[in-house]
Amino acid sequence: MTVVKAENVIKDYGLNDQVIHALRGVNLEFQAGEFAAIAGPSGSGKSTFLHLAGCIDNLTAGSILVGGKDTGKMNRTQLAILRRQSIGFIFQAYNLIPVLSVEENISFPLTLLGIDKKEIRERTNQVLKEVGLDGMAKRRPKEMSGGQQQRVAIARALVKKPALILADEPTANLDSKIGREILELMLALNKSAGTTFIFSTHDTMVMDFARRLIRIRDGQIESDEIKG
Amino acid sequence: MTLFGIWELKKLALRNLTRHKVKTILTLAAIMVSVALYIVLNSWLGGMAIQSRRNIVNFEIGAAKLQTRLYFERKDEMPSYETFLDWEIFHEALYREGYVSAPRFVFSGTLFSQSGSAPILFHGINPAAEKEVLRYAQYVDFGRFVQDGNFEIALGTVAAERLRVGIPTRPLRLELEELIASVARSQAEADFIRSLYDITPSVRRGGDIFSTEERIVEGNERMILGRNASQADLDRYWNIIAASGRNDVRINAIIDIKAAPEMIRRHRWENELWPALRPEDRVLVAAAYVYEDFMDAYHLVEQDERQLNLILDAMIRAEYAGAIRHVNQLMDVVVVGVINSPAPLPNGNTAFIPLDVLQDRAGMMLEGGVTELIIRERGVPDSRLPGQSESSAVITAALELGLASMGRTLPDELAVFVWQDYMQDYLGYEALQTGAPQVVAGLLLFLSFLVISCTILLAILERTKEIGMMRALGMTDRQMIMLYMLEAGFLGFIGSVLGIILGCIINYPLVKYGIDFSAMGDLMDGGIGFRTTAIFRSMWNVPIIIGAGIAATLLSSFMAFLPTRRAVKKPITDSLRFE
């Protein structure tokens, strides 16, 4: 089943009276359960593609279908609901809410979905175990290491069981040992839950872990390799 | 999550308040102080306004007055010639319909005592009827209230002190010794008077302003009438003063009466009277006067009293000065009491004199006329301000009904005017006095909302990345706005609750004990200021207290709307990149 389908995607930015062509006719398709990385140097357009696939930025031309829905034809509220229901985000800087505890951070997307408290508690506890943070539910983010915070961010993305998780350079702020642990965790979750993961990265370790590696340069796909 | 399901995020909104505790506390303090100040000011001014209105009704006017329409038109000039007769009939008619009333003849003049003179507003009153409507007669500090048939007056404390009649409450020692010398008939009486006073030494610093040396200024000591002096002592003291003749005073007043002039010089007829008369009145006046060559003047020939009254009304309407006769009146009376009521007007340069003395024995040519009949609904508590049952229309209808039951009708020239009609100056002052501080308090409240706005603005700026993350996770623009409005609303709510508590704590002693302004009595001489003396009390204005809390909460919440709306217009990717 196709989770994301990008057709001739063009994205231009205006910067100081200049037009930056971030993506120049990108065509990509991701199937359910993929564990893919988009790699490329800074400014290559990998994060831009991730933002477009995550419906947090607008296309200049082309189309992106998420779960078969054309995001270009949706308004702001419809896009917000699509993100809420179907897409999980993992950010480089974790972006946790500092005044909420670990379990509150994780359950935040479920609260937005209007799920009842009992189910929220069950799902939060389950995902806490999955990411290895059992027993840290009441801690605040500032009381945790970077790796632990990223685990919380992964748990927050996973808890609503989305079809797609987008991770924007998830290991960039972590040392290689912790980075590897995080990647192993995500891979395990990918295998166990069948969730599609798409990373943007220029970290070779992430590229090694990925089952599909897409290289992008100057806004165009340079290579698209599926590993054995 | 529905729009209203945002309430589920209350925990986050509340937790957000703990991010910067000092900033939150300062913002809460700003709201608290503003709300408290608003409540206290409103309650205080509201209390003074209510007390003033009650005092006007209970001590000055009653609920309404029956007067001639012409008197009301010219009430500022106090036209003593605009009187009406047979007040007893109207009094009875009103009583039958559930109203009490009291007749008055009001005029101005000068009162002379042995020590000086003062301009006084005199009220010729019927003591029994007056006590039915107004309450000042219960507040006679020294002596007693006036009684029918006696050449006597009761004075306000301000007038009494100015004329140095009655018992001085705070004389200098030298002044007291002069008084004793003039009133005491024996050493025992002199000692008795001295014994009633406490001495407050008058101390002056000696030398230059840096000197610490102090010296007693002989004779300049302030004597304070002892609070413990018994009523019997005060009565004895009053009688000693009265026996000396110190309380004997003379009224000098010019009473205006209407009288058709016997003769009008031709030049006045042609230049003053004729051009000012209404065309229909000219026929009437022309028929009543005959021109005589040898005097070069017009002479009155009309004898019929009814016609003469119509002619007089025509001349008054034309404001012809010749129709008013100014009669200088002198009358010797004795001051029998000094009034010190909770309202400033009866305490001021005011005197009350029995109406029957003015009417019958003083030779003032009033011929039974009174200038007004003051009216109040029978049996209403003093705390109640006149309502619908004391409106002009209802009292007029009642009066007409009462008169009809007596086979009479209400003359056209008479009308009922309510207390507000006489108090426009005061009501304007009240609106200004209660309005201006409220505007200031409102501005302060608004400033505190600006503080909230700044707090939220800073919070939004600081949390730009977080806002981007929340939107990426699926929060809609509306939910984001609601979340921050909820946060600001909590700030407003907590600040309001604290403000209400602080306001009530401050207001409580102001309601229970008030503030004693009696020392300022001279300054509040029944002018246009608040009509209260002695103790000013605040009030509990529950709608204002609750309203201030609700308004502060809602306004605080609203203050978050614009900054948050601006924040959610920012592209999510820009928010996420924000450092």
Q: Which two tokens stand for residue B107?
A: 């005029």
Residue B567, pLDDT > 80, answer: yes
- Output the DSSP codes for B193-250: HHHTEEEE--EEE-SSTT---EEE-TT-PEEEE-TT--HHHHHHHHHHHHHTTTTEEE
- B7-16, B246-255, B381-390, B400-409: range with highest mean pLDDT: B400-409
Supply the pLDDT for residue B354: 94
The verdict on B7 touching A (C-beta cutoff 8 Å) is no
Q: Which two tokens stand for residue B49?
A: 């306004």
CA distance B32 to chain A (A): 25
Average pLDDT of every residue of chain B: 86
Q: Which of the listed residues B359, B384, B418 is the one where a domain comes to its end? A: B418
Determine the Cα–Cα distance for residues B1 and A84; give it in Å rounded to an integer: 10
Residue A118, pLDDT > 50, answer: yes
Supply the pLDDT for residue B401: 95
Supply the pLDDT for residue B534: 64
Three-class secondary structure of residue B354 per DSSP: strand
Supply the pLDDT for residue B457: 87
Q: B438-488 pLDDT, tens per residue?
A: 787 778 878 888 888 888 888 888 889 999 999 999 999 988 999 999 999
CA distance A92 to chain B (A): 10
If asked whether residues B263 and B285 sit together in one domain, one would say yes
Interior/surface letters B43-68, b for 16+ CB within 10 angstroms, e for the rest: bbbbbbbbbbbbbbbbbbbbbbbbbb
If asked whether residues B473 and B411 sit together in one domain, one would say no
Pairing of strands B414-418, B152-156: unpaired
Q: B490-549 pLDDT, tens per residue?
A: 999 999 999 999 999 999 998 888 887 665 554 444 444 777 766 778 888 888 889 888
Determine the Cα–Cα distance for residues B167 and B332; give it in Å rounded to an integer: 20
Residue B64, pLDDT > 70, answer: yes
- Count, residues in chain A: 228
If asked whether residues B306 and B363 sit together in one domain, one would say no
pLDDT band at A110 (very low <50, low <70, confident <90, very high): very high
Q: Which of the listed residues B286, B301, B326 is the one where a domain comes to its end? A: B326
The answer to whether B117 and B406 have CB atoms below 8 angstroms apart is: no
- Output the DSSP codes for B455-498: HHHHHHHHTHHHHHHHHHTT--HHHHHHHHHHHHHHHHHHHHHH
The answer to whether B194 and B233 have CB atoms below 8 angstroms apart is: no
More confident residue, B310 or A89: A89
- Chain centre distance of CA B495: 36
If asked whether residues B544 and B459 sit together in one domain, one would say yes
If you measure CA to CA, which chain A residue comes closest to B469? A95
Pairing of strands B263-265, B64-68: unpaired
Q: Indicate whether B498 belongs to any domain.
A: yes
Supply the pLDDT for residue B4: 44
- Chain centre distance of CA B443: 27
Residues of chain A positioned with their CB less than 8 A from the CB of B11: 100, 104
Q: Indicate whether B364 belongs to any domain.
A: yes
Task: Kindly report each contact of residues B513-516 with a partner whose C-beta sits within 8 Å and lies 24 or more positions away, as own/partner.
Answer: B513/B537, B514/B538
If you measure CA to CA, which chain A residue comes closest to B463? A97
If asked whether residues B308 and B197 sit together in one domain, one would say no
Supply the pLDDT for residue B363: 65
Residue with tokens 């001639």: B68
Residue with tokens 């590993």: A227
Contact A56 B471 (CB under 8 A): yes
CA distance A128 to chain B (A): 19
How many Cα atoms sit within 13 Å of B576 on the Cβ side? 23
The answer to whether B216 and B199 have CB atoms below 8 angstroms apart is: no
Residue with tokens 């028929």: B287
Q: CB-CB: which of A80, A91, A113 is closest to B471? A: A80
Q: CB-CB: which of B15, B474, B571 is closest to A81? A: B474
Instruction: Return the axis-axis angle of helices B542-559 and B21-55, rounded to nearest 10°.
Output: 150
Q: Indicate whether B166 belongs to any domain.
A: no
Nearest residue to A126 (alpha-carbon basis) of A96, A93, A155: A155
Determine the Cα–Cα distance for residues B159 and B111; give it in Å rounded to an integer: 9
Task: Give chain A's domains with CATH numbers.
Answer: 34-47+76-226 (3.40.50.300)
Q: Which of the listed residues B362, B394, B418 is the one where a domain comes to its end? A: B418
Least confident interval from A49-53, A97-101, B357-361, B381-385:
B357-361
Residue B210, pLDDT > 70, answer: no
Nearest residue to B491 (alpha-carbon basis) of B164, B133, B28: B28
Residue A228, pLDDT > 80, answer: no
- Tell me the mean pLDDT in the region B228-246: 88
Q: Which residues contact B374 (CB under 8 A, 6 or more apart)?
A: B61, B62, B64, B65, B101, B102, B104, B133, B134
Determine the Cα–Cα distance for residues B338 and A18; give it in Å rounded to an integer: 93
More confident residue, B129 or B312: B129
Determine the Cα–Cα distance for residues B443 and B34; give it in Å rounded to an integer: 9
Supply the pLDDT for residue A36: 94
Nearest residue to A107 (alpha-carbon basis) of B153, B209, B473: B473
Q: B67-121 pLDDT, tens per residue?
A: 999 899 988 888 888 889 889 999 999 999 999 999 999 999 999 998 889 999 9
Determine the Cα–Cα distance for residues B500 and B37; give it in Å rounded to an integer: 9
Determine the Cα–Cα distance for residues B28 and B309; give it in Å rounded to an integer: 73
If asked whether residues B350 and B370 sit together in one domain, one would say yes
Q: B432-449 pLDDT, tens per residue?
A: 877 777 787 778 878 888
Residue with tokens 């006084």: B120
CA distance B462 to chain A (A): 12
Diameter of chain A measured on Cα atoms: 53
Nearest residue to B530 (alpha-carbon basis) of B54, B159, B76: B54
Q: Which two tokens stand for residue B207?
A: 């030398």
If asked whether residues B529 and B480 sit together in one domain, one would say yes
If asked whether residues B464 and B550 sit together in one domain, one would say yes
Supply the pLDDT for residue A8: 94
Contact B466 A97 (CB under 8 A): yes
Q: Indicate whether B567 belongs to any domain.
A: yes
Residues of chain A positioned with their CB less than 8 A from the CB of B9: 111
pTM score: 0.71
Please tell me the total count of domains within chain B: 4
Q: Which two tokens stand for residue B515?
A: 């503030």
Q: Indicate whether B531 belongs to any domain.
A: yes
Among B residues 548-577, those touching chain A with beta carbons less than 8 Å apart: 571-573, 576
Supply the pLDDT for residue B526: 45
Q: Which two tokens stand for residue A129?
A: 């175990």
Q: Indicate whether B228 belongs to any domain.
A: yes
- Chain centre distance of CA B49: 8
If asked whether residues B432 and B531 sit together in one domain, one would say yes
pLDDT band at A26 (very low <50, low <70, confident <90, very high): very high
Q: Indicate whether B168 belongs to any domain.
A: no
High-pLDDT (> 70) share of chain A, %: 100
If asked whether residues B13 and B69 sit together in one domain, one would say no
C-alpha R_g of chain B? 34
Write phi, then psi, for B439 (nearest 5 degrees).
-65, -45
The verdict on A112 touching B (C-beta cutoff 8 Å) is yes
The verdict on A12 touching B (C-beta cutoff 8 Å) is no
If asked whether residues B42 and B179 sit together in one domain, one would say no
Is B428 exposed, middle or buried (CB count within 10 Å of its CB: 0-12, 13-18, 19+)? exposed
If you measure CA to CA, which chain B residue comes closest to A90? B469
High-pLDDT (> 70) share of chain B, %: 92
pLDDT band at A213 (very low <50, low <70, confident <90, very high): very high
Supply the pLDDT for residue A182: 83
Average pLDDT of every residue of chain A: 90
Mutation target among B477, B573, B579 for the A interface, most CBs of A within 10 A: B573
If asked whether residues B38 and B119 sit together in one domain, one would say no
Mutation target among B473, B483, B484 for the A interface, most CBs of A within 10 A: B473
Q: How many CB atoms lie within 10 A of CB A209?
A: 24
Q: Indicate whether B167 belongs to any domain.
A: no
- Alpha helices per DSSP H over A143-198: 146-158, 176-193
Contact A99 B12 (CB under 8 A): yes
Residue A146, pLDDT > 60, answer: yes
Strands (E), A32-180: 35-39, 61-66, 69-70, 87-90, 164-168
Residue B200, pLDDT > 80, answer: no
Q: Which domain holds residue B284?
A: 256-326
CA distance B542 to chain A (A): 37
